Amino acid sequence: MVRAVKHVDEAVVDTTLEKIEAGRQVGFHRLFRGDDWRGTARGKQWGRDFAAIGVEVVCLPYAAHVSSTSLRRIVSVLAATNRH
């Protein structure tokens, strides 16, 4: 879905919470997170860490009816299917 957005240059699947390392490896300019992370210790730390490497953290409205766990499962199944 993300790749289909006109303004997206590249979409990368990342399965770890080590976003700073991913930022360094991939070289992205923005990290999009749900705003449920806003104000949390990890969210604040990410804000500081990413600011230090020039990455903007953009908080999107939290969607209570969307399960990120379910989305990860779907992505895993699709990725496994595409490998065969």
- Summarised one tens digit per residue, pLDDT across range 10-60 is 888 777 777 888 888 888 888 888 888 888 998 898 889 999 989 998 988
Predicted local distance difference test score (pLDDT) of residue 52:
92
Q: Which carries the bigger pLDDT value, residue 78 or residue 63? A: 78
Residue 84 has pLDDT above 70, yes or no: no
Q: What is the dihedral of CA 11, 15, 20, 26, to 10 degrees?
A: -30
Predicted local distance difference test score (pLDDT) of residue 51:
93
Predicted local distance difference test score (pLDDT) of residue 29:
87
